[in-house]
Structure 1
Amino acid sequence: MGAFGDHTFRSKRSQAEFEKSFVGKYQRLVKKNSFLYMGLPMMLSLAFASIFMTNLTSLRFERRDARVKELDEDEALKLANIKKRKVNINDEYYKLQGLMDDSKDYEPKRVERLPGETENKLSLLAL
């Protein structure tokens, strides 16, 4: 911007009115001591906002934690009353494979080989 871009033109009368207004008085104070009237209020407002937001968010998380703890205690009471079932490793394996639903009597079998075909088993003597 040019040399005259920062200044707005005011007549003597409007300039006198501007200097008597709050904005004019504040602008004159900022020119005298910019840190005291501009920097310090900005830094204080940021500090107070940080403290306020910390308290606000901690309250929010404390409420959420209390709600989760209540659910956990209820679930613990329910789990204490449930009788535990016995676990069979074969049944669990078949459930994971999805084979229990199709047929209850499923059992893996070896495929029969054609006459003269090798069994593809390694013998200890060959090693």
Structure 2
Amino acid sequence: MNYFTREKYISNTSKISQKIIQLNKTIHKYPFLLFGMPFITIILGGAYVLSISQQFRYDSRDQKITQISEEQALGIKKNRRKINIKDEYYKLQMNEMMLDNWEQVRVKRFPGEPENILSSHS
């Protein structure tokens, strides 16, 4: 029987360094592990976090909604003035009369300003 083996004693630090060397070899062999995997993980994790935050936002907004009356829903004011149809008709007639009786008034030009703007450029 052989009580002493021929295997060398490997300390914990050398085991860790061997694992690091093996990891470096794997990364050099498959660069996706160094660049692609973290990128995809960040994108998917960010989408998940954003979906949770948006859901929280909409849930909190839904709690703030209160019931409104029919007047508020229709935009009707309680203190509105009463409408007389004859008065409204006369107002509309006055607007039409004012549109028919207008005069075009020419604005006086400054001294030295030409009559036609296009003539000064040519």
* TM bucket, shorter chain: 0.3 to 0.5
Q: TM-score, normalised by structure 2?
A: 0.41
